Structure 1
Amino acid sequence: MSLITVTHIRNFIPRKRERYPASKNGIFIVSKGRISFNLPDGSEASLQAGDFTLYNSSQLKDITINTEYGEFSATYLDFDLSIFQTFMNQFGDFELNQQPDEHIKFNKTDIEIHQLKELILSLANSSTQNNYALTQLSLGLLSLMVEQYPALLLTIAQASNLTVTQKVIHYIDHNIENSISLDTLARYMRMSPATLKRRLSAEDLSFSNLLKIKRIAHAATLLRASNKSITQIAYESGFKSAAHFSTAFKAYHGQTPKDFRALIEKNRRKRIKS
């Protein structure tokens, strides 16, 4: 499994918020255009072309893309949870109470940090990732960032601490193509299946419903962002057949995968014409 996932964004398609989103953490890099968002304290922050930041997706709200000066493009470097946990382990029971005064961002003037970020991006884009090298380089990057802005330690700590539900979502997202059972998930969580069911039930969740919704959400993303066939998307999202996928998708979205994709394409063409 890759410890760093690279996602390139070349346009912005507003869509309904995912029901059970996984918190994504890592580096967000803006190549073109400008993006603004609200922080947990209500303040607004922004990034423009050339800026990059350490981010926790659960903390960003009301995202707005500005294409006044041309198209928008950006890149996510999503770090696996283990990278943040390994980094935080060196601090033991270190008390985190320093809040950043403002949103912290970097650019090319932060020479060492920028160069290390570019090296990580290059290696993460390789068809054969070297997870050991990526982990060590990522730990070095986080160290340089925290050395310059100690308040970033709080962001990293928040990224490394997940609730039971968030850990379940994290596991499903990273194994979405595979067969996932309550037993295998319970072993990963280091608890009995009965305890896991009880913990999820306390948050009004069921394992089977959560798994189905996450598979449908993953499939919807592939329908929007790829040209893969509906059958291929069904299997890559963990469904046993295209027919089963189509039935489950229509029950949730009110339309078949084929109609869903056609509507996305129709809306895309409207935006281009306008």
Structure 2
Amino acid sequence: MKRFIISREGVGLSATVIQKRELYLSRVATDLPTLVFVKKGIKSLKQNGLELDIKSGEAVAIAGNQAFDVINRPDHGEFEAAWIAFHPNVIRNYKPNIPDLKDIDPAFIFPNITSGFSDAFRLAAESITTDKLISDQVAIHRATEILIWLGEYGRKFKVSSPENISMKVRSFLIANPARDWSAVEIANLLEMSEATLRRRLSSELSSFSEILIDVRMSLALALLQSTDRTIGEIAREAGYDSASRFAVRFRDRFGHSPTMLRREANRDRNGTILDRVRT
């Protein structure tokens, strides 16, 4: 069976990442609050002096709107991790019963994973990936159970909202990375002039073109690691008619060619097609 990134509207996305050898990837973006369960190997996350190692059998919760340098280290020739990215409405509608939970910022490793948590993760992922008849209410309930488990560890995902112009621009682009976006169009959506948009992005040490490329490359990386779609299909999904131009952009961004990433994820998984979750 082919592997895919699976999405369920109102619940979230889920997939499995597989690599055959160690690779270093810089500034890997996590736009939605995400939980990663490492099944084989070690995942290392680095950000501004913070270094986290998530070992086999451990999980890490990553806040939304984060970027980490990532190293996936295989054990006996293979790294494998499953992840769930939560739809914003699941986070917003969850009302913790435990007071004074700490926001996850930027990430939190679960110590001493219990079988109950493992079962909850499996059911939450299944509610997204299964073709069984599971109602939206049940699927949301299962995803929310993961948030309750976070509370048992004294943590919660914070309700995210775009805090700056760069994040607001990114939220529009994520909805349709392949679209032929222009700075003028984004400025109109934000009800400001193009000059004002560019000036405010510059004050945040960013630019429209940089954000667009990063959104497209982040999507391409996820598709290469977690699906069996061809490189040509992924290039078009990321907004590139030319596979060669896409390959150059990808290598510039991550330091590895799309072909190399594809070789490192050569095993079938069950799944269905990717749909984006708008934030």
Normalised by the shorter chain, which TM-score bucket? 0.5 to 0.7
- Alpha-carbon spacing, 1:38–1:191, altered in 2? closer, same or farther (3 Å): same
Aligned to 1:246: 244
User: Which amino acid is 1:80 matched to?
Assistant: H
More strand by proportion, 1 or 2?
Answer: 2
Could you say which residue in structure 2 is the equivalent of 1:142?
147
Corresponding residue SS for 2:29 = coil
Q: What is the total number of aligned residue pairs between the two structures?
A: 246
In 1, the alpha carbon distance for the partners of 2:249 and 2:79 equals 34
* Aligned residue type for 1:120: A
1:32-73 deviation line (CA, Å, top 9, x unaligned): 334455687857553323x334333738666462515x6331
User: Which residue does 1:118 correspond to in 2?
Assistant: 122
- Deviation per CA, 1:76-111: give whole Å up to 9, x if none: 111133332333xx57xx9776899x84335343x2
Letter of the structure 2 residue corresponding to residue 166 of structure 1: M
TM-score, normalised on structure 1? 0.65
What is the match of residue 82 of structure 1?
A: 89
Instruction: Indicate the residue corresponding to 1:272 in structure 2.
Output: none
TM-superposed deviation, 1:211:
1.2
What's the secondary structure of 1:30's corresponding residue?
A: strand
What's the RMSD between the two structures over aligned residues? Answer: 4.3
Rg: which structure is higher? 1
174 and 192 in structure 1: CA distance in 2 versus 1, 3 angstrom threshold: same
Q: Which amino acid aligns with 2:204?
A: E
- Distance in structure 2 (CA, Å) of the matches to 1:98 and 1:267: 34
Letter in 2 for 1:163: E
Structure 2 residue aligned with 1:199: 200
Specify which structure has the higher proportion of helix.
1
| Residue 14 (structure 1) aligns with | 23
Alpha-carbon separation, structure 1, partners of 2:249 and 2:18: 30
- TM-score, normalising length from structure 2? 0.64
| Residues 1:247 and 1:30: Cα distance change in structure 2 (over 3 Å) | closer
- Aligned twin of 1:210: 211
1:55 is matched with: 62
Does residue 31 (structure 1) correspond to residue 39 (structure 2)? The answer is yes
- 8 Å Cα contact 1:36/1:44 also seen in 2: yes
Cα 1:38–1:197 shift into 2, 3 Å: closer
Q: Which runs of 5+ in 2 are unaligned?
A: 1-6, 267-279
Cα separation, partners in 2 of 1:96 and 1:122, compared to 1, 3 Å: closer
* Letter in structure 2 aligned against 1:135: I
Judged with a 3 Å threshold, the aligned counterparts in structure 2 of structure 1 residues 181 and 222 are, in CA distance, closer, same or farther, namely same
- Label 1:15 to 1:225 Cα distance change in 2 as closer, same or farther (>3 A): farther
Q: Unpaired segments of 5 or more residues in structure 1?
A: 270-274
- Contact 1:39–1:60, Cα closer than 8 Å, also in 2: yes
Question: C-alpha separation between the residues in 1 aligned to 2:264 and 2:78?
Answer: 17
- Identify which of structures 1 and 2 has the higher relative contact order when contacts are C-alpha pairs closer than 8 Å and 6+ apart: 2
Give the Cα separation in 2 of the matches to 1:59 and 1:209.
14
Quickly say closer, same or farther: Cα 1:264–1:98, change in 2 above 3 A.
Answer: closer
